Structure 1
Amino acid sequence: MLHPRIQEVTQRVINASKKSRTAYLERIAHAKSQTRVRAGLGCGNLAHVMAACDPSEKDLLKSDIQPNLAIINSYNDMLSAHVPYKDYPDLIKNVAKKYDATVQVAGGVPAMCDGVTQGRDGMELSLFSRDVIAMSTAISLSHDVFDGVFCLGVCDKIVPGLLIGALSFGHLPVIFMPAGPMASGLANKEKARIRQQFAQGKIGREALLEAESASYHSAGTCTFYGTANSNQMLMEIMGLHLPGSSFINPYTELRDGLTASATELMLKQLIETKDANCLADVVSEKTIINGLVGLLATGGSTNHAIHLVAIAKAAGIELTWKDMADLSEVVPLLTRIYPNGHADVNHFQAAGGMGFLIKELLSAGMLHEDVKTIVGNSLNDYAQEPRIDADVNVIMTDSNAPVKVKWVECAESSLDEDVLRPYKDAFSPQGGLQLLKGNLGDSVIKVSAVAAEHQVVTAPAKVFNSQIGLQQAFSNGELETDFIAVIKEQGPKAKGMPELHKLTPIMASQQDKGFKVAIVTDGRMSGASGKVPAAIHLAPEAIEGGMIAKIREGDLISLNAPKGELIVHVSDEILEKREIEISEQTLTFGTGRELFEGLRQTVSSADMGASAFGAIYPQQGE
């Protein structure tokens, strides 16, 4: 039986989305009704499509009988998570040849790393890169010669951007292919300890770099549970990955076998069974709710409070932070993965992984089972995990072929309940994210990583226009007291909503000294942030006249996560008389920021997904 709250919120989303969802599905129905894409091409058009193909591929494309599949690739050889994608196109094409199908790399999308740009000017491009990726995906598929799509992406803005872009081509089947996490390195607890020591001036840069390099040491996704790995969880629980494929390490037989299996799955559905679910059918209101439940149950990245709203909107679905907050009241926290614990995603995978998590949530009525996925028409298919099918591989004659994969029932119980718990013995009865409301506006807090004794803070405000200002105050010894750091003018319109992850070691060290501290900002914190209570994504932002721009040094602020409150203790009369205090906004140059001025002008507020496409997807009733 579905939990009443899950049913209530789902129905509310369905009702709120009737007009926009109907409009979206009508567009998809029209696209489906069109002549097979390549059949209508002129000779010159088709010649361009196949100019670089070998003779056998040209024959297949000319005959227009077998599928032609697109790869959208985020490969680059700078960033560890995307390095493994270099070999995927060749593997996919080799599998397709066995089905007399063709595959083309339709385009590439940019993949930037917040880990590189933290605290630097380039971070102001980070959030906007999601919408650039969405547009790049659309450009790649705009040639309109494909029958299915493989999206290769892992990290922070890449997966949401790929999905938003692909939803404009929702009449096609789309499969997301993960690359997997790197092997475990330096223990997360030790990494956090060394970062704080550096912030306190107890160790030098060489020791810090040695620790960081021991943490991020090889190809694959970073192993903490930040936005990148939250992306992988979401794609699986939303039915866009193969079951159990999210956290298999790169360059292993099973990883390559899963990539081959995903290719075979789409080709069999298109050629043999004719039952491939298109993306618009997979991403429904129920699917979005399933993704949000997964995010809450795992204490996932706060960035998805923005991304899920934007993804839903691209599918004609209206999702709000209230929906998230209402679900958070009943969805229990079932995992402890860094920064919400000390284990990493490899440990989570070994303890039972996604299969066990989904099984527990399904059995508790926390997920919609009756949803379409890339596999079929039930989320029950995802209460399984992949294994190498040794019996089949013994008789395989092609030594270069990827191993065959089979699926088995997931573990009956968690192998480590310090990392992954059954539903009846959850770490917390409440989900990992919480909505905060009050006279400052609406914001989000990640509570899964904050100890109970730190979830309620009342202290005077220290106001800054940048994280550099707070760093200087720390260096000057001005933070040896209880305080709430107010970092304003960091919202989407002001600066592209940069992450303020550099604040975490400083604030954590002050908290460890016994001071009551917290953060309030219209910017973002890292998807891996935790420990220190932080009211983030505050809307409206300062540059739009938000109340955060009326906070003055010394104003008493209360952050109460259990009650969902964020209040500045200043009377309405005084607040009304106060002037908005913001720095002079000028066109910013350097690291390409000037090229994004147009996006800063059109971007929606954080609670609306911080999207440049807001005018394209109007709210219900507009």
Structure 2
Amino acid sequence: MSDLHPTIRKVTERVIERSKPGRQSYLDLMKREADRRPEREAVSCSVLAHAFAGAEEDQDALKNNRGPNIGIVTAYNDMLSAHQPYGRYPDRMKIYAREVGATAQVAGGTPAMCDGVTQGEDGMELSLFSRDNIAMATGVALSHQMYDGIACLGICDKIVPGLVMGALRFGHLPAVFVPSGPMPSGISNKQKQETRQKFAAGEVGRDALLESELASYHSPGTCTFYGTANSNQMMMEMMGLHVPGAAFVQPGSKLRQGLDRAAVHRLAELAGTTDRTLAQVVDEKAIINAMIGLLATGGSTNHAIHIPAMARAAGIHVDWTDLAELSSVVPLLARVYPNGSGDVNQFHHAGGMGYIIGELLEAGLAHRDILTVWEGGFDAYTAEPIWEDDALNWTRVTETRDDTMLRPASEPFQPDGGMKLLNGNLGRACFKSSAVDKSRWTIEAPARVFENQADVSVAFKAGELDRDVVVVVRFQGPRANGMPELHSLTPALAVLQDRGHNVALVTDGRMSGASGKVPAAIHCTPEAIGGGPLSLLRDGDMVKVCAETGELSTTADLASRIPAPDPAPEWGVGRELYRMMQAQADGAEQGASAMLKAAGL
């Protein structure tokens, strides 16, 4: 067992010091909330009658206050494959609660939209701010104050961060996050990627593309590539908010149900105590562990936005400099598609999170002393769950079962975590180097400037980009249009790259966990709207994107230029309903949240 790496210690101490005022204010609030939380015996009978009227067989237990009551916040819908399994969870969870003398009620539901469904469509502009919406919906659900613990049912991109942000405002209660697991593997990711690129190049038609996609996304469960949804589950393990090893067990299995049952039993055990409240579990070290896990596994770039937002909800302040410094010492231990050929099912079978956490702890690359929802502390998360003799058990993961997917800290895929901070006269941006061949870490080429992704597609099809080029897609930031993901651009840019051209993307938009092999400077801040540096670029300006030196710059004389005019706000698909959030949002590095900014967090 190694001592904690000095860089990780330094970053942690810096975050603790920087966060002192906000963290203390948060903890003071949680103490006040716990002290003033109404006891049921003191609540009016009319209030209790409203709360218990629909409880059916649990009504008598609730009326007589015979045990803790668990509030379930669910992101169920049956259009999202990842959330479809949650349909039957409340009924099962109520049974599990009764087994240990507790009750459970659905406190409320939250939206759950899929970036895969809205990809390249207007609805994507609601995606990022749906996180604030989810956080507020969680707050509404828990505001009835009828609960002794919180069970959060959520998987995908904005849903888990939103649930964390909302639940943290009720951090005086214990909380457990309950995933539903990934769908079984479909066709290989290599086949899927090849078909997408062939379609972008005009070599196959829409029918072939649709068949390929359906062969990949084919049943209930989370998409199997290692994007934001699965990175969410990794982070919940790294923060100690899951039952150990729960992240990547498939829906419908006995093991999955055993883990779900264990989550409810544990939450009932914690309810009414002050030992492991959510406010205590989500501290500075837990947030640092989430960042470390992101880097060690090559997780989604979206979390460069979500982690600061989740941290702020707990009074903690982190930034991209912290992430970049951690990345310099945290090695890449996993290669999961799109950073490798295998998917999350293969990752789990190779040793999964138990192996990752064990390696990080033994190498002194993660905080062992975090408080977790599970007994045994963070060491318990070095084991994988198994179902044997009709019971749930755990076994320690001591070695990788596939070294093409998982490697020890002593022999990593890369010596760093593959998340670079770029900085220069075009602003600050993130670069996911773990997905990009090192020969392409530096691209310097003339810019071609666009103000929406549809125009990029038109230019590509017309052959206008068939050369060395830095594609700049601006006015895609939080205040401009909600910061949509732009990874539908990846197939076209990958085709140009495969033709031998030096190609890069620069944008104030997002690229998501599906960030692929094309070098991309994303989340550029300040964003273009309001006169940010990207608004000053013109076609033909030389732009340099360099992950080696951390540079994002142009040789153009930006000071002499007038910014391009801000685009008019778009209407339709409900975008106008989110105008208030767009107008109030802060920058990507702060978490791109209107809600947190308005709350003064």
The TM-score normalised by the length of structure 2 is 0.98
CA contact (8 A) 1:316 1:617 kept: no
Distance 1:355 1:498 in 2: 33
**Deviation (angstroms), 1:270:** 3.5
Encode CA deviations 1:313-368: one digit per residue, 9 max, x unaligned. 00000000000011111010000001101110001001101000000000011111
Work out whether 1:585 is the aligned partner of 2:587: no
Work out whether 1:409 is the aligned partner of 2:396: yes
Q: Which amino acid aligns with 1:198?
A: F
**Deviation (angstroms), 1:544:** 2.7
Encode CA deviations 1:68-111: one digit per residue, 9 max, x unaligned. 11001111111100011111111111111122221100101111
Encode CA deviations 1:490-523: one digit per residue, 9 max, x unaligned. 0000000001111100000000000000000000
CA contact (8 A) 2:156 2:232 kept: yes
1:30-179 equivalent positions in 2, closer than 5 A = 30-54=32-56, 56-179=57-180
CA contact (8 A) 1:542 1:582 kept: no
Distance 2:87 2:446 in 1: 51
Distance 2:567 2:365 in 1: 48
Work out whether 1:309 is the aligned partner of 2:308: yes
Give the SS at the match of 2:337. Answer: coil
**Deviation (angstroms), 1:231:** 0.3
Give the SS at the match of 2:105. Answer: strand
Give the SS at the match of 2:594. Answer: coil
Distance 1:561 1:37 in 2: 56
| Match of residue 400 from structure 1 | none
CA contact (8 A) 1:370 1:377 kept: no
Distance 2:532 2:54 in 1: 54
1:215-230 equivalent positions in 2, closer than 5 A = 215-230=216-231
CA contact (8 A) 1:386 1:406 kept: yes
**Deviation (angstroms), 1:377:** 6.2
Encode CA deviations 1:119-174: one digit per residue, 9 max, x unaligned. 10000000010000000000000001100010000000000000000000000000
CA contact (8 A) 1:248 1:255 kept: yes
| Match of residue 200 from structure 1 | 201
Give the SS at the match of 2:480. Answer: helix
**Deviation (angstroms), 1:389:** 3.7
Distance 1:244 1:483 in 2: 44
**Deviation (angstroms), 1:304:** 0.2
- CA-atom RMSD in angstroms: 1.2
Encode CA deviations 1:14-37: one digit per residue, 9 max, x unaligned. 000000000000000111223554
Give the SS at the match of 1:249. Answer: coil
| Match of residue 538 from structure 2 | 552
| Match of residue 290 from structure 1 | 289
1:451-470 equivalent positions in 2, closer than 5 A = 451-470=437-456
Q: Which amino acid aligns with 1:222?
A: C
CA contact (8 A) 1:270 1:276 kept: no
Give the SS at the match of 1:262. Answer: helix
The one of 513, 520, 527 equivalent to 1:527 is 513
Distance 1:469 1:35 in 2: 54
1:388-427 equivalent positions in 2, closer than 5 A = 388-390=387-389, 393=390, 404-410=391-397, 412-427=398-413
| Match of residue 263 from structure 2 | 262
Q: Which amino acid aligns with 1:350?
A: H
Encode CA deviations 1:417-475: one digit per residue, 9 max, x unaligned. 10000000000001021110011110001111100111110000000001111111111
Distance 1:518 1:582 in 2: 24
1:150-549 equivalent positions in 2, closer than 5 A = 150-270=151-271, 274=273, 276-376=275-375, 378-390=377-389, 393=390, 404-410=391-397, 412-549=398-535
Moved more, 215-224 or 99-108: 99-108
**Deviation (angstroms), 1:53:** 1.9
Give the SS at the match of 1:567. Answer: strand
**Deviation (angstroms), 1:276:** 4.7
| Match of residue 600 from structure 1 | 582
Distance 1:615 1:75 in 2: 28
Give the SS at the match of 1:502. Answer: helix
CA contact (8 A) 1:2 1:366 kept: yes
CA contact (8 A) 1:295 1:432 kept: no
Encode CA deviations 1:43-84: one digit per residue, 9 max, x unaligned. 110000011122x52222222241011001111111100011
Distance 2:101 2:377 in 1: 29
**Deviation (angstroms), 1:488:** 0.5
Give the SS at the match of 1:418. Answer: coil
**Deviation (angstroms), 1:614:** 3.4
Give the SS at the match of 2:485. Answer: coil
1:20-31 equivalent positions in 2, closer than 5 A = 20-31=22-33
Q: Which amino acid aligns with 1:90?
A: D
**Deviation (angstroms), 1:583:** 4.2
CA contact (8 A) 2:475 2:567 kept: no
**Deviation (angstroms), 1:408:** 1.9
Change (3 A) 1:377 1:17: farther
Distance 1:583 1:617 in 2: 27
Give the SS at the match of 1:131. Answer: helix
Distance 1:104 1:415 in 2: 41
| Match of residue 565 from structure 1 | 551
Give the SS at the match of 1:343. Answer: coil
CA contact (8 A) 1:61 1:102 kept: yes
Give the SS at the match of 1:448. Answer: helix
**Deviation (angstroms), 1:39:** 3.0
CA contact (8 A) 1:384 1:408 kept: yes
Distance 2:99 2:478 in 1: 48
**Structure 2: runs of 5 or more not aligned:** none
**Deviation (angstroms), 1:569:** 1.1
| Match of residue 396 from structure 1 | none
CA contact (8 A) 2:55 2:105 kept: no
Distance 2:582 2:598 in 1: 16
Q: Which amino acid aligns with 2:590?
A: M
Give the SS at the match of 1:132. Answer: helix
The TM-score normalised by the length of structure 1 is 0.95
Q: Which amino acid aligns with 2:446?
A: P
Give the SS at the match of 1:554. Answer: coil
Distance 1:591 1:343 in 2: 36
CA contact (8 A) 1:371 1:377 kept: no
CA contact (8 A) 1:20 1:618 kept: no
**Structure 1: runs of 5 or more not aligned:** 394-403
Distance 2:555 2:229 in 1: 37
Distance 2:10 2:182 in 1: 36
Distance 2:289 2:567 in 1: 43
The one of 12, 15, 20 equivalent to 2:14 is 12
Distance 1:367 1:238 in 2: 11
CA contact (8 A) 2:177 2:241 kept: yes
Give the SS at the match of 2:487. Answer: coil
Distance 2:425 2:18 in 1: 26
Distance 1:493 1:112 in 2: 20
Distance 1:444 1:270 in 2: 40
CA contact (8 A) 1:298 1:432 kept: no
Give the SS at the match of 2:117. Answer: helix
Q: Which amino acid aligns with 1:125?
A: L
CA contact (8 A) 1:72 1:140 kept: yes
Give the SS at the match of 2:535. Answer: helix
Change (3 A) 1:445 1:37: farther
Q: Which amino acid aligns with 2:173?
A: L
